[in-house]
A and B are shown apart, each in its own frame.
Chain A
Amino acid sequence: NAGVTQTPKFQVLKTGQSMTLQCAQDMNHEYMSWYRQDPGMGLRLIHYSVGAGITDQGEVPNGYNVSRSTTEDFPLRLLSAAPSQTSVYFCASSYLDRALNGYTFGSGTRLTVV
């Protein structure tokens, strides 16, 4: 049982490049989400999904795309990287039943756009 796995752990991109941040969970969680955290700031929700084939926008969705073709995977795509997207990205998952325990977070991807 690996929990939430994020890859890569570190990445440097040039402005305008595209890339995909991977997130996978093996807990059969219905809900998955992506957050970004800028230095000294709290976490901000980018996109989330309540099940395969369903995605929705969070607080700061611009510049990012997501898809959820399977329950296990929720990749985050940066279409054309900008320096403003330099941040630490966290993926999280949980069951949809609110009475169950809270979100499980991955260890993060540290992205630098130069």
Chain B
Amino acid sequence: DAKTTQPTSMDCAEGRAANLPCNHSTISGNEYVYWYRQIHSQGPQYIIHGLKNNETNEMASLIITEDRKSSTLILPHATLRDTAVYYCIVRSLYNTDKLIFGTGTRLQVFP
């Protein structure tokens, strides 16, 4: 599975868009990009995933570059409840079904 690189921490003002970057330069053509978040002490929560097209759901948007080497998770109007650790994960299609978490980005939304 491809490894991902994320900034350790980010801040965002409440009501503004939060843009969380992720580098996955070794991603292969059949690997999906997944985003999860973990609010303090809770189990991780699935946010969104994509293969090569941009995706949007009720929680967030996912922008994947054309070469698929990086992506950005966008929370369009961040709230205090969005303060969490955000994990970008690349998931292999073949053989095993492991989901390997890195250390993620700690997003702090402030008033």
Contact = CB atoms under 8 A, between A and B. Distances in A.
A63 interface: no
Given A42-B87, A107-B43, A102 B36 contact: yes
Interface in A69-111: 88, 90, 92, 94, 96, 98, 101-108
Interface residues of B, number: 22
Contacts of B102: 42
Q: Is the interface of B mostly helix, strand, loop or mixed?
A: loop
A31 B101 contact: no
Given A98-B32, A98-B93, A101-B46, A108 B99 contact: no
Interface of B: 32, 34, 36, 41-46, 49, 87, 91, 93, 96-104
7 contacts: A42-B87, A45-B99, A48-B96, A103-B99, A105-B44, A106-B43, A107-B43
The 8 closest A-B pairs by CB, nearest first: A105-B43, A102-B46, A43-B101, A42-B101, A42-B103, A105-B44, A90-B43, A31-B97
